Amino acid sequence: MIRYCVFFLFLFLYSSIQGQLPEYDWRTLVMAEDQWSYFSADIAAPAPNWQLPGFDDSSWLTGPGGIGYEDNDDATIIEPVHSLYLRTSFEITDTSNIMYALLHADYDDAFVAYLNGVEIARSNIGIPGEFHAFDALPRYFHEATIYKGGRPEYYELNKKEIRIALKEGQNTLAIQVVNDGIVSTDLSAAFWFSVGLNVDDDSYRQVPSWFQEPVILTNSNLPIFSIQTNQQNIVDDPRITAELKIFNNDDGDLNDLSDTPTGYDGRISIEIRGSSSQRRFLKKSYAFETQNSDGSNNNVSLLGLPEENDWILYGPYSDKSLLRNDILFKLSGDMGQYAPRTRMCELLIDQKYQGVYVLMEKIKRDTHRVNIAKLKDTDNSGDELTGGYIIKIDKTTGGGTDYWNSHLHFENYQNRNVTFQYHYPKDDDITSQQKDYIQNFIHDFETSLASDLFKDSLEGYRKYMDVKSFIDFFLATELAYNVDGYRLSTFLYKDKDSRDSLLHIGPVWDFNLAFGNGYDCRGQNTTGFMKDYNKDCESSNFQIPFWWDRLLEDVAFQNELNCRWRALRAGPLHLDTVFQYIDQRTLLLEDAQARNFVRWPVLELTLWPNRYHDDTYTGEVTIVKDWIKTRFTWLDENLYGICNNMEIKDPNKLQTLLYPNPTSGTSTLEFYLPLRSKINLQLFDMQGRLLDRLIDKAVGEKGSYLYPIDLSTYPKGIYILRLNAVNESQTIRLIRL
């Protein structure tokens, strides 16, 4: 018989992890290695009511757990099945002494557990209350963990659930374990049932050696979010109504569940959110809306964030630093772009601890979020029709059902499309005229970028797009090497022409698969550019727009990009600044992260899409910092363009700098405009003959500009550049070697 003995060393204070846990005498009533009755469902399900106490399982086989095949973690080996059905019984002498109960599960790939016919736990399949056919499939494949050095997951029963499910005398635990199809290469089924007693009782067995008491949170240095669902199940759709209390003392004292909830105390509607994360991760993320008692929007400030009613509770899971989204949003905000603001907190749902969460602003049109004009269904002509819009490039799952694909489809796109979806106004609210307008605007932008005149300052891409936002988005995506970058979770917005006629890209969103947390083709790399993802990862189903390669064909864009990077590296992207923020966050999470990894024991595991992992939280943070340092250094040395920052001696005068001069091919003219002005730049030979109108009747705002001067097709000699701007003309001699 295989014994389940896994030992762990925890280097943190017991009381810090538990948050002042009440002391219980923990005992185990069901062991995985006990004798179980089991039914192998390869061609049919067992008889009905198999989960009920009175069911006759005498015809079933029996054997010690775990039960399954492959992975070398099975005491009873069976042939491949669709589902494995398990039953065992145990005795309870006095239920009044039982304050808490836990079901531990080490399984492959999904399960539903019943205690005396009452569902008490499920994972990776369906929604609570559903019964599943013997050949049902899990949401996603799930691996057992003990044989890999991990700990089993646990599922809690609080006092109310214990009163409903548990009884004095004989109790029956019944479990359906669902395989990832009968062709699956493995199946694991090992379960333990333990209780926390308010008295010492030696009549029950000791807990397994790996057992660690659950987190029963009572206080925290972080704000505590406590959600009461009134025994409803939170699902993907529709939202349910629940009650939220936020415990947040602004005086620096610990937040305690015995305090008055000063952060919020009222109604919300809530649902599970996410696409891949919802299927793959046991720790769920949530979208919720603060509401008045009648269900109307309740715009409030949560944890000091600007008033709104739509919020996200993001639960980091495979990102074991707990920080990747938070770091990137902070950096993007410091770069001067709007990015969702964040606050760290801990979450309880129906008194059950869920771990460390990040409160985030949902991306939406709002004065304090994406600050564009409100678009009403009557705004169907003139300036009113021109904005505001929020569009996203993303999967069509988990979002709107109305979308369109880019009209440009290049050979290297293969069978992939760039798919645009309406984020604001929503599918149900946007009018046909508004759809036509924003589709045509993006069509014109893409057409101009694909044209031969794409570099032209009047008719090229600059006529349509806000260059600074595209540069900052490129840098944010590349500095984090976001696996989903450009092709998923990518937002664009456009205001009314009277306010801002240009297309902006952003805000940034969904950077959990970044900073080295990606094993999707090359997501762990610190070298290369994520814009080239489709070239290296041809199996990807989602296309990066051609925009980025095309923009980087423009040397002026390259140089602006390079100068922007170097300016940011001296400020918000300086390593000292970035690491200081990470260290502050790590210190803030010192106690809470320990509790999080008791609830979700994943530090010892390699989860999708981890390329690297460490068995400690400190090690996970170090991985992120080391990766950032290496990545930033690579970008310093390999980013497109050049930047020779001109010293602005007088901010009220036109200034120029030409380099290199002489040149064997290409030089760069850097010039500073002291105010908004028309710009003309012409190239002459020494006889005064006009050779080229390099910039013709363009308009530039106050600021510095870089323009490449390509003489590679001209003969050796001396040439004259004439720049006309701000009612002034400057001439510069340029030597071609």
pLDDT score, position 456: 84
pLDDT score, position 704: 80
- Give backbone dihedrals phi and psi of 268, rounded to 5 degrees, phi first: -140, 160
Neighbours of 729 (CB within 10 A): 11
pTM of the prediction? 0.84
Helix intervals (H) in 396-482: 432-450, 467-480
Render pLDDT for 434-447 as a digit per residue (tens, 0 to 9): 999 999 999 999 99
Distance CA 463, CA 388 (A): 18
Would you say 508 and 339 are in contact if contact means Cβ atoms under 8 Å apart? yes
pLDDT score, position 13: 36
pLDDT score, position 20: 46
Q: What is the DSSP string of 339-406?
A: ---EEEEEEEETTEEEEEEEEEEPP-B-TTSB------TT--SGGGGG--EEEEE--STTS-S-EEE-
Domain architecture of the chain: domains with CATH: 14-197 (2.60.120.260), 217-361+572-640 (no CATH), 384-513+524-569 (no CATH), 655-736 (2.60.40.1930)
Neighbours of 391 (CB within 10 A): 23
Q: What is the widest separation between alpha-carbon atoms in the chain?
A: 108
Distance CA 101, CA 171 (A): 14
For strands 224-228 and 342-349, give the pairing.
parallel
- Is the alpha carbon torsion for 509, 513, 517, 520 positive or negative? negative
Would you say 150 and 89 are in contact if contact means Cβ atoms under 8 Å apart? no
Number of helices (H) and strands (E), helices first, in the chain?
Answer: 12, 33
| C-alpha closest to that of 652 among 706, 722, 702 | 702
pLDDT score, position 16: 44
Under-70 pLDDT residues of the chain? 1-22, 398-400, 520, 522-523, 644-645
pLDDT score, position 399: 56
- Give backbone dihedrals phi and psi of 622, rounded to 5 degrees, phi first: -60, -40
Would you say 627 and 526 are in contact if contact means Cβ atoms under 8 Å apart? yes
pLDDT score, position 4: 39
pLDDT score, position 95: 94
Residue 91's beta-bridge partner residues?
170
In sequence order, which residues have a C-beta less than 8 Å from that of residue 152 and are 6 or more positions away?
Answer: 104, 105, 106, 145, 146, 190, 192, 210
pLDDT score, position 645: 61
Please identify which residue in the block is written with the tokens 């050796």: 716
What is the chain's Cα-based Rg? Answer: 31
Render pLDDT for 530-589 as a digit per residue (tens, 0 to 9): 999 988 887 788 999 999 999 999 988 998 899 889 889 989 999 999 999 999 999 999
pLDDT score, position 220: 97
pLDDT score, position 608: 80
Distance CA 142, CA 280 (A): 8
For strands 285-291 and 310-314, give the pairing.
antiparallel
Residue 311's beta-bridge partner residues?
288, 361
